[in-house]
Structure 1
Amino acid sequence: MKEGQLILPDQLFHPSIHLDRNRVYYLLEHPAYFTQYQFHKKKLIFHRASMQYYADQLRSIGLRVKVIPFSSFSKTVQPYLTIMNDNIHILYGIEPADFNLKDQLNEDFKIVGIHVIWNGSSQFLTPKEWSFLLFKGKRNFSMNAFYKEQRKRLNILMENGNPLGGKWTYDIENRKKLPTKITIPELWIPTPNSYVREAELYVQKNFSQNPGNPEGFFYPITHVDAERWLHDFIVHRLIYFGPYEDAMHSDYSFLFHSVLSPLLNSGLLTPNQVLKQIFDFHAENPIPLNSLEGFIRQLIGWREYVKIIYEHIGKEQYCSNFWNHHRKLPLEMYTGRFEIPPIDQALNRVLKNAYLHHIERLMLIGNFLFLCEVNPKEVYRWFMECFVDSYPWVMVPNIFGMSQYADGGKMMTKPYFSSSRYIRSMSNYKAGQWSEVWDGLFWRFIIKNREILRANPRLTMMVHLSHTITDERRKRWDKITDEFFNTYFQNGGKE
């Protein structure tokens, strides 16, 4: 009885974990990664190039490899019949992070009579059993509580059972605006290789109508380049990551961010690998604690937390719409032409890079679509399409739980939305016509939802302030927002 090994596009772990020469290795260009949505061209290039590279790496150590292209999936079970025709009866695989995909694969292989055995993944640090015990019987799932327990469990930044430096988080210190005179390091860019060139042609041939600019691809698609990318972040940007992690700037896309998420989410890097490199460097070149803790919180805290939230309540979140938002996504989300400079520039970066850092995602794009009352499933679809690091386990909690607060507070204690003042305070954008539109949307939302917002102690001040708005100002904002909706939303944005 022959055995096979299934490898998905986000499971490109170091080839050394695959040493069984008796197995046939099947790399699937599964629709979930290629055709389920109109994926950004750079995301598709990333997956195609990294998979072709990975296939060659496996072949170089003497393994038998077959790549099953996305075109094979035009008929439901055709690619699985290919595996069956190889006389494979047992197929091993690393458990997919996407539970819907796992269920689908189990069902498809059952139809063709192939038994699948799922093994654990090195993509995450947190055992499911531990997280389920931590959150057992709780109606709400606190990131802060999880993060503290995670630090203790992993013994990271701990000293005699207490947090190093006396505080669990330095988040309050890490909210600085970018100074006028500061040098932003350039990203190290890998030399383009044959895998990227082939992938660019492949995507242009098969996905020419998808969004995004395919030119200027710059992400690592090999393990060696991924390690170099990580090293570049640690040496040149991590030192200032903390204080400026929430900063935004019209002229800079990456600032001091790591841009490691595509590599971590595809398996080219693992969290343990990142932790080791950071602390090895820190031992010789001490990193300021606010920057070190700020990044560690993202890696072992938020990233692990959203995966656990996805496993616990992801299906429920995906079906939630607490605010009853039903507007369709405007086409301008794919062109960047709202005449709102912070949004337009962010959208143009998305089209160019398939990437924004976390505050731009949350407090620009997410904030904007929330105030526009766009259906959260529409928001989710756009994020899934447009980001190189997007997968359901990432985007379901981030969109339905945080950005759009569609789950009504199971994940977060309050919705994250703001007036233009916050954006101006964290960036170099100046007030103008755009901020009038934004503030009109902001106060319109608060006035409309006073009763709901009043019940949250963290938002009562906004509700109180809404009662002080003069009739004249309110009429002016109503006129501005009506014009905005009539311009960018069908039927004036009415459901």
Structure 2
Amino acid sequence: MSRLVLVLGDQLSESLSALREADRDTDTVVMAEVADEASYVRHHPKKIALIFAAMRKFAAGLREQGWDVAYAELDDTENAGSIVGELLRRAEQTGAGQVLATEPGEWRLIRALKHAPLKIRILQDDRFIASHQEFERWAEGRKQLRMEYFYRDMRRKTGLLMEGDKPAGDKWNYDHDNRKPAPDEVDFGGPMQFTPDAETEAVLDLVEARFDNHFGQLRPFWFATTRAEARRALTHFIKNALPAFGDFQDAMLNDNRFLYHAVISPYLNIGLLDPLEVCEAAADAWAAGDVPINAAEGFIRQIIGWREYVRGIYFLEGPDYPERNGLEHDRPLPDLYWGGETQMNCLSKAVAQTRDEAYAHHIQRLMVTGNFGLLAGVNPTELHEWYLAVYADAFEWVEAPNTVGMSQFADGGVIASKPYVSSGAYINRMSDYCKNCQYSVSKKTGDGACPFNLLYWHFLDRHRDRFEGNARMGNMYRTWDRMDADRRDTVLKEAGAFLEKLDAGEKV
């Protein structure tokens, strides 16, 4: 009996387990652009366009290889509007008795498949280096699940940057070399950009018509939409940007949105690139003497370390993970995240870049938009849904741990040993944002004082019972306690006034 083979929009890999298990002579591949997946959060138009265009081209490639592909475009009048609905429709058309599916990367969709009135066999997604079982074995019995130790196991498993049993250069981690502030000049023109072909333009027209009320600029659109293009983007980065990536990976600039970043995470996360091939390209560049070890190691750690680790956490912690709120923050997401006016230049720049590019790098997400949300006490579920919606590389398995865990400490410390909070001093050190801001980063209180300076102490004060005993935060509380009592009162009063303005929808 024939079977259906489900291929989702973030599973565009010819090595997909469901495709390997299938028989191209008898089985039918099902792919669908469905309203449910495009709008369960209000995804950035660029993200929707990237996935739809890449899906169409991937389907065409499968047909060229001899697969029977049942593909539903979004505006197909027969489109059922959901993944399960499309499977039911295709099962009725073909008489298929079973569905082969590679495990989705979101609990929401896993639940939908498991409750569907179909016989569905869900296969492991083995495009990752660590399986669920491997991560569970690593985590078992550990009091703290810290990424660094997991990363070392992944280095041993892959052999990347290893010299026998030892790490290359006798160090596992060169992060201390990768925290340089923004350079005066950037001699890299940015990630490789691609001119949309006719097929991509058709998708852009569709997305423009159907999702014009979603946050984000659709055009210009320059993402790669095929594996061949994604490979070119990777080669461009390795050759032209990776040598300086390590030094400046945490830096931010007013007038340069990309610095030395690869912007290949969307291609990795929808399946156009394989994580191991990406890391091997970086390791080969180091071995050839073209890239310093701190750059190669820092880049590889992001992929076989952090990327694999957060996926492990997401599936280990279970379906309730994205809704956790360990600090009981309940402030609604401020309008400034959707482009509302703000006098805070760092937030204005990060949000504008997000609107235009569907991209911001990890420090912009963690230490600008995330830091502000945590300091201001924003509901982490609302912030999680914002990140999931606005970034082209955001899928829940990778986004939720980064937001709920790393950024907002809403998981109670599963990922982070302390909250990632800072005053304006960190942003000033790592960027030139503060030079163009209406607030003064050097002012701690009074008219024009940087809101990050006020909110930092406000956060520590209101969560003192929880964090005072944290070994990594003791110095912060000792500094707070040494302040004059009147100054502490002023800080808390001014922070409270700022939050009142934020709640009232006033420009801050």
Normalised by the length of structure 1, the TM-score is 0.93
Aligned equivalents of 2:465, 2:124: Cα separation in 1: 46
1:107 matches 2:115? yes
How many residues align? The count is 489
Aligned equivalents of 1:184, 1:338: Cα separation in 2: 30
Aligned equivalents of 1:210, 1:268: Cα separation in 2: 25
Query: Counterpart in 2 of 1:418?
Result: 422
- Going from structure 1 to structure 2, the CA distance change for 1:53 and 1:456 (only over 3 Å counts) comes to same
Gaps of 5+ in 2: 442-449
| Correspondence 1:262-301 to 2 at 5 A | 262-301=266-305
- Going from structure 1 to structure 2, the CA distance change for 1:478 and 1:266 (only over 3 Å counts) comes to same
Aligned equivalents of 1:380, 1:327: Cα separation in 2: 13
Query: Counterpart in 2 of 1:358?
Result: 362
Q: Deviations over 1:250-301 (max 9, x none)?
A: 1111111111110000001111221333334444343201001000100100
Query: Counterpart in 2 of 1:158?
Result: 162
- Aligned partners of 1:14 and 1:223 also within 8 Å: no
- Residue 434 of structure 1 deviates from its aligned partner by 5.6
Query: Counterpart in 1 of 2:4?
Result: 4
Residue type matched to 2:439 in 1?
A: Q
Residue aligned with 1:100, SS: helix
RMSD: 2.2
Identity %: 31
Residue type matched to 1:271 in 2?
A: P
- Aligned partners of 1:93 and 1:116 also within 8 Å: yes
| Correspondence 1:110-259 to 2 at 5 A | 111=117, 114-259=118-263
Query: Counterpart in 2 of 1:90?
Result: 98
Query: Counterpart in 1 of 2:306?
Result: 302
- Aligned partners of 1:314 and 1:397 also within 8 Å: no
Query: Counterpart in 1 of 2:384?
Result: 380
Q: Deviations over 1:114-160 (max 9, x none)?
A: 32223333431112222111111334311111111111122221223
Residue type matched to 2:103 in 1?
A: E
1:433 matches 2:439? yes
Q: Between 254-263 and 95-104, report the one with greater CA deviation.
A: 95-104
- Aligned partners of 1:314 and 1:396 also within 8 Å: no
Residue aligned with 1:389, SS: coil
Query: Counterpart in 1 of 2:445?
Result: none
Aligned equivalents of 1:186, 1:66: Cα separation in 2: 37
Q: Deviations over 1:345-393 (max 9, x none)?
A: 1000000001100111101110010011001101101001100011110
Aligned equivalents of 2:410, 2:69: Cα separation in 1: 43
Q: Deviations over 1:19-77 (max 9, x none)?
A: 71321111032456311111111111111111111121122223221223457345795
Q: Deviations over 1:306-361 (max 9, x none)?
A: 00001111434323211110000012211152210000010000000011001111
- Aligned partners of 2:191 and 2:261 also within 8 Å: no
- Residue 408 of structure 1 deviates from its aligned partner by 1.2
Residue aligned with 1:433, SS: coil
- Residue 429 of structure 1 deviates from its aligned partner by 2.7
- Going from structure 1 to structure 2, the CA distance change for 1:444 and 1:228 (only over 3 Å counts) comes to same
- Residue 399 of structure 1 deviates from its aligned partner by 1.1
- Aligned partners of 1:332 and 1:488 also within 8 Å: no
1:443 matches 2:457? yes
- Going from structure 1 to structure 2, the CA distance change for 1:335 and 1:182 (only over 3 Å counts) comes to closer
- Going from structure 1 to structure 2, the CA distance change for 1:15 and 1:402 (only over 3 Å counts) comes to closer
Aligned equivalents of 2:299, 2:135: Cα separation in 1: 21
Aligned equivalents of 1:434, 1:221: Cα separation in 2: 43
- Residue 471 of structure 1 deviates from its aligned partner by 4.5
Aligned equivalents of 1:387, 1:491: Cα separation in 2: 25
Residue type matched to 1:58 in 2?
A: L
Aligned equivalents of 1:456, 1:77: Cα separation in 2: 47
- Residue 479 of structure 1 deviates from its aligned partner by 4.9
